[in-house]
Structure 1
Amino acid sequence: MLSEVLNAVLIALLLADLATWVYALYCLGRSVSLIKSSRALNVYEDLREGVTAVVPVRNSANTLRHLLKALLSQERVRLDEVVVVDDGSTDGTPEVVLDFMNMYPGVVKYERVERVPEGWTPKVYACYRGYLRSSGGLLLFIDADVALKGSCLRPLLGRAAALGGIASYAPRFSCRTLSCKVAEAVLTTVSHAFTGFDKVLNPSSRLAWFYGCCWAVP
């Protein structure tokens, strides 16, 4: 009798597991299909407010130059200012910023953090200092190792302005090692399967995605 009960329980668990993965595959397909849908890429043309980009950095000389070039050459977006907040870099980061300050006087600005107050984490405090230095109505917070293409910031800024709230991109990660590629594939698959765009873009759902590497807020 006990063995029959255990067999029944195991069968029920296997069926539940199978149903879970069937549902996950269904949701995965729906989520991936929405990546380039009109709902995911709504472009709002009216950007009346000024835009300030805040870039928190630490020892980012190798990537910062590429980011600043991409920021300042964005199509259909004019940045009023780019505030680079340096959290104690010891490499050539300040020199990179100085080069761009000379090329874009009054637009590129430099803020150095000498001490992080107790209770703050370095990046969060750097973002806060950038916010205090900003004058634009729309704020873009972006990491120094983010690679931008074309006019990709326009939809992000437009959506944040239209919604009156935070909007962030789900980034495409660049992995060079096998372990990174495997981990990224697994995490992305699970994310789309159980918390994908089919839920994030559903007005009746309270679920939201947020990535801290590139986000905007009015």
Structure 2
Amino acid sequence: MKLSIAIPVYNFANFIPETLNSIIGQEHGNTVEIVVTDGASTDRTPEVMAEFCSKYPNIIYNRLPQKGGIDRDMASALEATHGEYVWLFSGDDIMHPGSLATILGEIRSGDDIYICKHMECTGWMEPLFEYPVLEPDIPGVFDLSDPVQRLAYFKRAINSEAFFSFCSGLIIRRSTWDRVPLDENFVGSCWAHCARFFSLMPKGLRVNYLGRVLLSRRGENDSFSDKGLVERYKMQVDGFHDIVDAFFGQNSPEAREVRRAIRYEIHPLMTLILKFLCYLHPKIEDKALLDRIVARAYQDPSWECIKVRLKYALIPSWVIRRKHNRECFAYDYPEAYKADQAEKRKVYLGTLQQR
């Protein structure tokens, strides 16, 4: 079998039907193996999957005895597949028509990892923008065991997706994945799969950047944000800094480029908005933790980093609120905002059930 699709899920009963239909409904959709690994969901996921499995023999449903967290569940999902290549896919994203045929054609080149782009969407899948990965946005193959090619690739990275953070954008050679085991040092970080690929770089890892949008990502459904936004950004900053420091060293050129890319995600304006949220909701958002992650994200001795650290330290929260009121609006009225989003999602899910 040439290609499998591995989908780890947890309580995605409302979303997995649309995801599966987006795959099954296209060419090769009824022949490619689809493996859904359920991390002991407490919703209707087993019933939903039983219905799909009864209709489509190429869909396999594995229910784990207990929730293992995304790192273990992702590893379990991939290990349950049988394809030469595995497309990791989230149970709430949507595969674009023709994407299966595209990937089946691309993997003939035999590279270790293929990275595609995605369309960023709202929670009810209204398109927003194409999410960037590399600059310039030109397809290419990179041998990351070659220090020159590796640094060139790292310099082109815009954000963490270039470093394998977005699972739905990854198509992986199964034999490459099996070359190293799950690293227990990174279990719980949510980036153990990224650590696996970083560990492979010096030993040989060919990455093929396709530069094509092959799926849509559902926004406003980030399960990693359940403990607050500061904790979510801590996961991003600490996770990738720890990985690159472990495999290349904190003072390496690779580490400097990873830190630059992560600053795209915790950009200067976001540091101020997070500071305001800590002032507004101190029981949810931890100001001391935010101080630490801003210092770590902007640790480099460049003038740009120094300016961000100074602005973050000196601008008081009331100025942030006045200057960036629109960005903070949702958090000024959190209950009303949540109710509005819940109602919109209810309407959206109702339309799915009618299809």
Q: Give the TM-score of the pair, scaled to structure 2.
A: 0.38
Cα–Cα, structure 1 residues 63 and 132, in superposed 2: closer, same or farther, change >3 Å?
same
* 1:119-178 deviation per Cα after TM superposition (whole angstroms, max 9, x unaligned): xxx22222221222211212111001111221123323433441421112221111369x
Cα–Cα, structure 1 residues 67 and 199, in superposed 2: closer, same or farther, change >3 Å?
closer
Cα–Cα, structure 1 residues 111 and 77, in superposed 2: closer, same or farther, change >3 Å?
closer
Q: Structure 1: how far apart are the matches of 2:28 and 2:66? A: 37
Q: Structure 2: how far apart are the matches of 1:77 and 1:168? A: 20
Match of 2:71 in 1: 124
Q: How many residues matched?
A: 155
Greater share of helix residues, 1 or 2? Answer: 2
Q: 5 Å matches for 1:6-45? A: none
Match of 2:167 in 1: 212
Cα–Cα, structure 1 residues 130 and 74, in superposed 2: closer, same or farther, change >3 Å?
same
Task: Choose which of 133, 139, 145 in structure 1 pairs with 2:86.
Answer: 139
Task: Choose which of 33, 39, 53 in structure 2 pairs with 1:81.
Answer: 33
Aligned 8 A contact 1:82 1:108 in 2: yes
Q: Which has the higher contact order (CA 8 A, sep 6+)?
A: 1
Cα–Cα, structure 1 residues 89 and 199, in superposed 2: closer, same or farther, change >3 Å?
same
Match of 1:151 in 2: 98
Aligned 8 A contact 2:35 2:61 in 1: yes
Q: Structure 2: how far apart are the matches of 1:145 and 1:113? A: 19
Q: Give the TM-score of the pair, scaled to structure 1.
A: 0.60
Q: In structure 1, the residue corresponding to 2:96 is in which secondary structure? A: coil
Aligned 8 A contact 1:67 1:144 in 2: yes
* 1:54-105 deviation per Cα after TM superposition (whole angstroms, max 9, x unaligned): 1100110111001111111222565432111001211111111111110013
Structure 1 gaps, min length 5:
1-48
Structure 1 vs Structure 2: percent identity of aligned residues? 21
Aligned 8 A contact 2:30 2:56 in 1: no
Q: Structure 2: how far apart are the matches of 1:176 and 1:141? A: 20
Q: In structure 2, the residue corresponding to 1:55 is in which secondary structure? A: strand
Q: Look up the equivalent residue of 2:77 and give its one-letter code.
A: G
Q: Look up the equivalent residue of 1:124 and give its one-letter code.
A: D
Match of 2:65 in 1: 114
Aligned 8 A contact 2:40 2:67 in 1: no
Aligned 8 A contact 1:97 1:110 in 2: yes
Q: Which protein has the larger Cα radius of gyration, Structure 1 or Structure 2?
A: 1
Aligned: 1:99 with 2:54: no
Moved >4 Å (runs of 4+) = none
Aligned 8 A contact 2:3 2:33 in 1: yes
Q: Structure 1: how far apart are the matches of 2:169 and 2:104? A: 11
Aligned 8 A contact 1:86 1:112 in 2: yes
Match of 2:206 in 1: none
Cα–Cα, structure 1 residues 138 and 77, in superposed 2: closer, same or farther, change >3 Å?
farther
Cα–Cα, structure 1 residues 110 and 196, in superposed 2: closer, same or farther, change >3 Å?
same
